[in-house]
């Protein structure tokens, strides 16, 4: 059984989707830790309720990003996880960390990459005037939201949408896509050739 660890900075609804999927036997994994840079994150409460060990690396207590990342790396290494899931982790992981875990870190992004990378993706999509948006699960590389795409799904952008309504519609899809990608990883069904990712046993990398 694979060991997965989750990094989250806030609400943690995607983390909860993973906890639930593991609990239901959909994902054959053990969640060995929640790591948070924010001691106020609601994700911490979710971890404690689920009996998942919590590791807080409080960003505000470090004098530099280098010091913070050195501490974060030590925690990540100590977990011996097969997979790290960034589920609403609101910082960019430094190259020094990414290089330690090649092909073993995935992220969820609330837009159809490569459009609208970075912060406030839903707002960017609305301001651009796109008619569809969605979410992307991708491997993390040294860029910002640039790694190979594992799963994407789209939702319509409807007349009258605001950031909240669009975010809510996307979030529902995130809660489906993230467990699906993590399940495929844990079942060793993900194949990567360059930027091309396929999931063995699935016809496409979009949900049916």
**Smallest distance from the beta carbon of 130 to ligand GRF, in angstroms?**
17
- CB 139, CB 75: distance < 8 Å: no
**Smallest distance from the beta carbon of 112 to ligand GRF, in angstroms?**
12
CA distances from 194 to 42, 78, 148, 163, 197 (A): 36, 29, 8, 34, 8
Q: In this structure, what is the dihedral angle of CA atoms 29, 98, 146, 86, given to the nearest 10 degrees?
A: 40
Residue nearest to ligand GRF (CB): 88
The b-or-e profile of 60-97 (16+ CB within 10 A means b, else e) is: eebeeeeebbebbbeebeebebbbbbbbbbeebbbeeb
Which residues of the chain form contacts with ligand GRF (CB under 6 A)?
8, 10-14, 87-88, 108-110, 171, 174
By beta-carbon proximity to ligand GRF, the closer residue of 175 and 183 is 175
By beta-carbon proximity to ligand GRF, the closer residue of 77 and 207 is 207
**How far is the C-alpha of 194 from the C-alpha of 21, rounded, in Å?**
29
By beta-carbon proximity to ligand GRF, the closer residue of 109 and 183 is 109
Active-site residue, from 80, 109, 120, 138: 109
**Smallest distance from the beta carbon of 93 to ligand GRF, in angstroms?**
13
Catalytic residue status for 80: no
By beta-carbon proximity to ligand GRF, the closer residue of 14 and 124 is 14
**Smallest distance from the beta carbon of 15 to ligand GRF, in angstroms?**
6
- Residues catalogued as catalytic: 109
């Amino acid at each position: 059984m694979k060991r997965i660890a989750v990094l989250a900075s806030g609400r943690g609804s995607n983390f909860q989707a993973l906890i639930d999927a593991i609990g239901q036997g959909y994902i054959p994994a053990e969640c060995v830790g929640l790591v948070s840079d924010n001691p106020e994150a609601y994700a911490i409460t979710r971890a404690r309720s689920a009996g998942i060990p919590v590791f807080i690396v409080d960003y505000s207590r470090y004098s530099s990003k280098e010091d913070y990342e050195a501490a974060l790396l030590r925690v990540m290494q100590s977990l011996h996880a097969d997979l790290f899931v960034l589920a609403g982790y609101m910082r960019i992981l430094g190259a020094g960390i990414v290089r330690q875990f090649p092909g073993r870190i995935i992220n969820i992004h609330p837009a159809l990459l490569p459009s609208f990378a970075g912060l406030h993706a839903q707002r960017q999509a609305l301001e651009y005037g796109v008619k569809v948006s969605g979410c992307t699960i991708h491997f993390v590389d040294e860029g910002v939201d640039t790694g190979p795409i594992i799963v994407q799904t789209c939702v319509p952008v409807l007349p009258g949408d605001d950031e909240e309504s669009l975010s809510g519609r996307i979030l529902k899809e995130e809660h489906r896509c993230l467990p699906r990608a993590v399940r495929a990883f844990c079942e060793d069904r993900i194949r990567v050739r360059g930027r091309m990712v396929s999931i063995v046993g699935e016809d496409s990398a979009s949900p049916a």
